[in-house]
Copies of this chain bind each other. A is one copy, B any other.
C-alpha cells in the first residue's frame, strides 16, 4: 500500500489554483475519503511568475517548475493533473503520462472531444485511468452519473444547458429585455464570459461537452464534426419576447442528444422550452443536464458548470477516487470509460430531424400575405399550430408574422422558408428557432 499519493499538476490557471486551494482547505475530509495522504509534489506552469501563487498555499517554491518533463519523468508522481487546456501540448502530456503508467485527471473538453478514442485506448493499453469529471457540467457529477449511476439504462435523450456564459447572456436578454450585445458586455463585466467568448457564443464549447457525454453513453466516439452546431450570436430579443409572451416558451442554448430509430441526433442550437419546465428555470451561469433513460425515466442534474471552485470540486473528486485505488493497489485494474473504436454510430443529418419550429416572417401588411405564406408551408408538408400577428400597427410598415408549427422535417421547413423569403412582400430573412416540447 502506498502511504502518500503524489500529484503533479500541469497548468496553474484559475482551475489549477482552485485545485491547490481545495486540497489544502478540505485536506482532512479529502484524506479521510481517500484513505491515504495526498501531496502536491510538482506544479508546472510556463509562466515563471506563477511560482508566487504557491506561497499563498504554503507550498515550497521548489515544488514549482516551468518544465513539464519534471512532472512527467518524476517516477514518484502517481497522478498527473492536466489543466493547461487547448490541444497541444496538453495532448502530448496526457499520452506521455499514461504511457508511463501514470493516471491522469483532466478537464480539457476540446482535447477530449477531438482525440477521445486515442486517449482512452492508449490509457487502457497501459492500465492507466483518465478521469474527466470536470470536462462537462463543471462541478455537477454528471459524467459519473451517465457512466455508472445510469449504466443500466438505454439513454433516450440528453438535453443539456452546458455553457454558463451563453445561459447567462440568454437569461439577461430575457429577464432584462436587453440586446445580445449588452448582455454579452454584462457577462464579461461579471466574469461569466472571457474577453474572447467566441467558442461559447458559437456553441462549440457546448458541442465539445455533448461529444463527451454522448461518447460515454454509447461507448464510442461521436466526432465533433458530427454535431450540428448553431450559436446564439444572431438571437434577437424580440424573438425571446414573442416566444415567451405569445406561446409560453423560454429560449435556451441546448445541447441535444436523441437516440432511437437506428440513428442518433446530436445538435447544439438555440431552443425554445416550455415555461414551467425545470430546464426553463435554469438561469444565469448555471448548467443542467436533463437525461431520460428507459428504466429511470426523467432525471436532471443541476449546478455550476464552470468557475474556479466548482471545476476544482470535480477535479479533486477524481483525485480522491484515484488516490483511494492507487493506495489499495487496484487503480487501472478495471476500466472506467469504455471506447470501442469499432463501434460506429449513425448520426442523423440535421435536415432529417423532425421537431416543432417557431418562425418569424417579416412582411408588408397587406391582404393575402398569410395565405401565400401558409400555402408555401403547406406545399412542403409543414402545418401551422398557431399564428400571432400584431393586431395594431402604428405606422404602415413591415410587420412580423410569428408562427409555431406542428412536427415537421427540418429539410422541408427550410425549403418552405427559402421560398417564402423570395416573395416580394417578405422584407427580411425569416427567423427559425427549434422547439423542444419535453412533454411529460
Alpha-carbon gap, A68 to B426, bound state (A): 76
Known A-B contacts A302-B302, A330-B330; A152 and B297 likewise in contact (beta carbons under 8 Å): no
The complex places the Cα of A314 from the Cα of B151 at a distance, in Å, of 9
Contact B302 A32 (CB under 8 A): no
Q: Is A278 an interface residue (CB 8 A)?
A: yes
User: Quick one: which of B276, B296, B330 contacts A313, CB cutoff 8 A?
Assistant: B296
Residue A418 interfacial (CB < 8 Å): no
By the criterion CB–CB under 8 Å, are B317 and A293 in contact?
no
Given contacts A139-B293, A152-B312, A296-B314, 6 further A-B pairs with CB under 8 A are: A25-B294, A145-B149, A278-B302, A294-B309, A299-B302, A330-B330
Q: How many copies does the complex hold?
A: 2
Pick the contact of A328: B299, B303, B304, B333 (CB < 8 A): B333
Contact B303 A151 (CB under 8 A): no
Quick check: A297 and B309 within 8 Å, CB to CB? yes
Interface membership of chain A positions 116-154, coded 1 if the CB is closer than 8 angstroms to chain B and 0 otherwise: 000000000000000001000001110011001111111
Q: Is A281 an interface residue (CB 8 A)?
A: yes
Partner of A33 from B18, B22, B304, B338 at Cβ < 8 Å? B338
> CB of A29 within 8 A of chain B?
yes
Q: A296-B139, A303-B299, A325-B334 are in contact. Are A32 and B219 (CB under 8 A)?
A: yes
CB distance from A273 to the nearest CB of B (A): 13
Q: Report the separation of the CA atoms of residues A304 and B325 in the bound assembly, to the nearest whole angstrom.
A: 32
Residue A245 lies at the interface, judged by CB distance under 8 Å to chain B: no
Task: Give every chain B residue within 8 A of A324 (Cβ-Cβ).
Answer: 334-335
CA separation between A325 and B330, bound complex, in Å?
10
Chain B, residue nearest A144 (CB): B149
Query: Contact between B317 and A149 (Cβ–Cβ < 8 Å)?
Result: yes
Q: A316 at the A/B interface (Cβ < 8 Å)?
A: yes
| Interface contact A297-B151, CB-CB below 8 Å | no
Q: Is B141's CB under 8 angstroms from A313's CB?
A: no
Interface positions of A from 153 to 169, Cβ below 8 Å from B: 153-154
Which chain A residues numbered 1 to 40 have a C-beta less than 8 Å away from chain B? 18, 22, 25-26, 29-30, 32-33, 35
* Contact present for A148 and B321 (CB under 8 Å): yes
The yes or no answer to A300 lying at the interface (CB within 8 A) is yes
Residues of B within 8 A of A293 (CB): 139, 313
A301 contacts the other chain (Cβ, under 8 Å)? Answer: yes
Inter-chain CA distance A149–B297, complex, in Å, is 22
